[in-house]
Structure 1
Amino acid sequence: MATEALVIDWAQMPTYNTIMSVAAGAGLLLVVGLGRAVLHRPKEVAVEGWALAFGVLGVLLTTTGLHMTLTWPLAAGGFPFDNVIFGEPALGFGVLLLAAAFWLWKRGRAALDAPEPLAVLRRTAGPMSVLILGLGLACFAIAAAGVGYELFAAPPEEPISGEFADYPMIEAVFISGLYVLVGVGAVLFPVALAKPRRWVHRVIGVVWGLAGLAFLLFGALNYFTHIGLIVNTMG
Structure 2
Amino acid sequence: MTLLALTLAAPGLKIDWTGLTLYNTIISLSAGAGLLLVVALGRQLLASGRTVTPDGWALAFGAIGLVLLITGLHMSLAWPLVGGGFPQNNIIFGEPAVIFGVVLLAASLYLWKRGAGINASDRIVHTVRVTAPISVLVFGVGLACLGIAAAGWKYTIFAAPAEEPIAGLFAEWPVVETSFVSGAYLLVGIGAILFPFALRRPSGRTVQVVGVAWGLAGLAYFLFGALAYFTHIGLIMNTK
TM-score (norm 2): 0.93
Find 1:194's aligned residue among 179, 197, 200: 200
Gaps of 5+ in 1: none
- The question of whether the paired residues in 1 share the 8 Å contact of 2:51 and 2:119 is answered with no
Matching of residue 74 in structure 1 with residue 97 in structure 2: no
Find 1:14's aligned residue among 12, 18, 21: 21
How much has 1:195 moved relative to structure 2? 3.3
- The question of whether the paired residues in 1 share the 8 Å contact of 2:52 and 2:119 is answered with no
CA distance in 1, matches of 2:82, 2:208: 38
Matches within 5 A, 1:24-43: 24-41=31-48, 43=50
Matching of residue 117 in structure 1 with residue 127 in structure 2: no
Find 1:212's aligned residue among 187, 193, 218: 218
Matches within 5 A, 1:110-189: 111-189=117-195
How much has 1:43 moved relative to structure 2? 5.0
- Match of residue 61 from structure 1: 68
- The question of whether the paired residues in 1 share the 8 Å contact of 2:124 and 2:202 is answered with no
CA distance in 1, matches of 2:84, 2:49: 49
The superposition leaves residues 61-99 of structure 1 with CA deviations (integer Å, 9 ceiling, x where unpaired) of 000000000010111123211100000001100000000
TM-score (norm 1): 0.95
What is the DSSP-based 3-state SS (H/G/I as helix, E as strand, rest coil) of the residue aligned with 1:44?
coil
Q: Which consecutive segments of 4 or more residues in structure 1 shift more than 3 A?
A: none
Find 1:94's aligned residue among 90, 98, 101: 101
The number of equivalent residue pairs is 231
RMSD after superposition = 1.2
The answer to which structure, 1 or 2, has the higher relative contact order (CA under 8 A, 6+ apart) is 2
CA distance in 1, matches of 2:11, 2:127: 58
How much has 1:41 moved relative to structure 2? 4.3
How much has 1:115 moved relative to structure 2? 2.8
Letter in 1 for 2:108: A
CA distance in 1, matches of 2:135, 2:212: 19
- The question of whether the paired residues in 1 share the 8 Å contact of 2:149 and 2:182 is answered with yes
Gaps of 5+ in 2: 1-9
How much has 1:113 moved relative to structure 2? 3.2
Letter in 2 for 1:91: V
CA distance in 2, matches of 1:150, 1:112: 43
CA distance in 2, matches of 1:42, 1:30: 19
CA distance in 2, matches of 1:88, 1:4: 33
CA distance in 1, matches of 2:65, 2:11: 42
Letter in 2 for 1:140: L
